[in-house]
Structure 1
Amino acid sequence: MSSDMSYTTEEIAKLLKISKLTVYDLIKKGELVSYRVGKQMRVDAADLEAYKQRTRAASTTDRPAVINEPLRSLSSAPMNGNRPIVITGHDIGLDILAKHMEKNIPGIRPLRSFVGSLDSLISMYRGESDIVSTHLLDGDTGEYNLPYIRTLLVGSSYLVVNLLFRNAGLYVKQGNPFGLKQWSDLSQPGLRFVNREKGSGARVLLDEQLRLHGIKPERLVGYDNEQINHLAVASKVASDEADVGVGIEKTASLVKQIEFIPLIRERYDLVMLKNANNHYWIQSLLQILQSDVFKQEFQSISGYDLSRTGEILFES
């Protein structure tokens, strides 16, 4: 293995015979050193070999060995006696949820995977995640999430529970120089756009609005300029690399030199498969979501509506 070689996350997953989500989790925890080239994460051959050596050395200790197993098998592979529960999505509310789960539900270890809404549902269909978050708008019905869930999880038994509501809309520069007020204004000539990646809820929201308003994506300068989260989109607008992008209100409060134009109230839900292995922690999770302690921690964050947090919206 040449020390000059480097690998993508897909190549690492194939070499180690694990899922991409597991690779991202290793990177997030600092166990696998990586760096970004454009939009792509890469791992040097030397760092991969160092990781493998550490894993071999740890095989005689009590360090969990499941890091070399496919993510879809984690439900049956305990880590230090605790079952991993993979939670997908980007919102900070999911980090708060994971913390409360770890504290209040014995026998589990929450793991965070930063995957967009559509890809999250696909990962659940593949058996690679346990709790997925989603905010996907069906433009024809105005309904959030359920049309996509019913399509992707056909044949499965699942539970859909509300986590929160939040405002989504446009990030613009201070003073809103283009006077943007509605989705149709995105057809203005001269606008420089910054987009989210395919599979994210924000990307689906934009594409649905473009379709409904008869705006062809190729007319948006910068439609292919993709960023991996709301903060990155807002930062591009703040640094004058773009004039407008789609995101949520909470992130706008974190970035200077931009304004937020609210255009839609989106429903952010959690989806869990119903089976014998999940029953015990799903009931505990519902209790956490409905508890005053959990909601009080959320109330310190601006831009969230918790009026239906913990409410079961659909059960198949």
Structure 2
Amino acid sequence: MSTDISYTPEEIAKILKISKFTVYELIKRGELTAYRIGRKVRVEGADLEAYKQKSKGLSTSTPPLDPSAINEELVHRHRLTSDESLVICGQDIVLDILTRYLEKQFPQVHFLRRYIGSIDGLMALYRGLANVVTAHLWDSDTNEYNTPYVRRLMPGHQTCVINLVYRMEGFYVAKGNPKNITTWGDLVKPEVRYVNRERGSGARVLLDEQLRISGIKRQDILGYGEEELTHLAVASKVARGEADVGLGIEKVAMQFANLDFIPLHKERYDLVMRLEDVERPHFQALISILRSSAFRNEVQGIGGYDISQMGEIIAEV
């Protein structure tokens, strides 16, 4: 491998046989040196080779930094890993719109999206692998959304919880609801096939909490072990007749002409970030976007969301 050429993160991912996101994480943590040309990230062949040798526990021939250049190098890395990249976790389309607004305001910043569930998002925030995450986790003991989970999953770390939207969770069923599915108890009907969400998602937590409260055994639900990773995939499976019912948000059901939606639970869909980050420019811009009429009108226009508390600080945990 030549050390005189540069590589894109995608090319690095293929060479190392890892995901592109992992490459960005290595760059973010300063383990793999990178630089920017405009909005494009590049890695020199020599830096890639140095990373590979370091990973093997070998020394490299790269000369040490001149002491006078150390501060400059640290500043460069800080800008790349902290000021020029921001990881946002969550799956809702509202986050795609929010990211677009942020990209317009900060064209030099690389915004990364991770399409993962609520609990995995909070764990990524705790581990320093994400900057902003979403959560819609209902706690049956307190009848509260998100803050009880933030306290448990972010021990010793102060966070800020800001509302994005409210959404309606409910059942996706075939048009006309031929199996007459309206309550949690109907999921154990012998002829009803359920399609589930993955563990750690807000929909899965809501289901499991409701089953616990109702005294329903999960093993009595046909299809409980069959998991999909998105609301869209769940709705699609019901729409194709491969399942009779699944749990998800109303907005997704609106995209299928042959589905009905049975509303069950209004949920609070929040953004969670570290409290220490809130005063930084990117995060202040994010909050300003949430409170802007342009963003609010665009989200309201696509339907299926309650924006009455959008941008409000729900709690500092």
Give TM-score, length-normalised by structure 1: 0.77
The whole-number CA distance in structure 1 between the counterparts of 2:259 and 2:24 is: 32
The whole-number CA distance in structure 1 between the counterparts of 2:36 and 2:106 is: 29
**Closer, same or farther: CA 295–59 of 1 in aligned 2, 3 Å:** closer
The whole-number CA distance in structure 1 between the counterparts of 2:20 and 2:151 is: 23
| Residue number in structure 1 paired with 2:5 | none
- Aligned 8 A contact 2:167 2:305 in 1: yes
- Aligned 8 A contact 2:135 2:271 in 1: yes
AA paired with 1:76?
H
Identity of aligned residues (%): 47
**Cα RMSD (Å) of the superposition?**
3.2
- Aligned 8 A contact 1:117 1:134 in 2: yes
Q: Secondary structure at the match of 1:256?
A: coil
1:78 and 2:83 equivalent?
Answer: no
Q: Secondary structure at the match of 2:243?
A: coil
**Closer, same or farther: CA 167–75 of 1 in aligned 2, 3 Å:** farther
| Residue number in structure 2 paired with 1:64 | 41
- Aligned 8 A contact 2:124 2:130 in 1: yes
What is the CA distance between 1:106 and its match in structure 2? Answer: 6.3
Q: Secondary structure at the match of 1:303?
A: coil
1:143 and 2:144 equivalent?
Answer: yes
- Aligned 8 A contact 2:291 2:310 in 1: yes
**Closer, same or farther: CA 307–211 of 1 in aligned 2, 3 Å:** same
Q: Secondary structure at the match of 2:125?
A: helix
- Runs of 4+ in structure 1 deviating by more than 3 angstroms, as ranges, are 15-18, 23-26, 58-63, 65-69, 74-77
Q: Secondary structure at the match of 2:41?
A: coil
The whole-number CA distance in structure 2 between the counterparts of 1:300 and 1:175 is: 27
Q: CA-to-partner distance for each residue in 1:217-254, whole Å, 9 max, x for gaps?
A: 11111111111101110111111100000000000011
1:41-56 counterparts in 2 under 5 A? none
- Structure 2 unaligned spans of 5+: 1-11, 26-31, 52-75
Larger Rg: 2
1:165 and 2:166 equivalent?
Answer: yes
Q: Secondary structure at the match of 2:237?
A: helix
The whole-number CA distance in structure 2 between the counterparts of 1:122 and 1:136 is: 13
**Closer, same or farther: CA 159–21 of 1 in aligned 2, 3 Å:** farther
Q: CA-to-partner distance for each residue in 1:168-218, whole Å, 9 max, x for gaps?
A: 010011111121122222222221010111111111111111111111111
1:168-207 counterparts in 2 under 5 A? 168-207=169-208
AA paired with 1:241?
E
Q: Secondary structure at the match of 1:299?
A: helix
What is the CA distance between 1:59 and its match in structure 2? Answer: 8.6
AA paired with 2:78?
S
Q: Secondary structure at the match of 1:282?
A: helix
Q: How many residues align?
A: 269
AA paired with 2:311?
G
Q: Secondary structure at the match of 1:246?
A: strand
1:205-244 counterparts in 2 under 5 A? 205-244=206-245
- Aligned 8 A contact 1:88 1:112 in 2: yes
**Closer, same or farther: CA 195–276 of 1 in aligned 2, 3 Å:** closer
AA paired with 1:124?
L
Q: CA-to-partner distance for each residue in 1:104-135, whole Å, 9 max, x for gaps?
A: 24653221110101100001011000000110
| Residue number in structure 2 paired with 1:297 | 298
Give TM-score, length-normalised by structure 2: 0.77
The whole-number CA distance in structure 2 between the counterparts of 1:147 and 1:60 is: 40
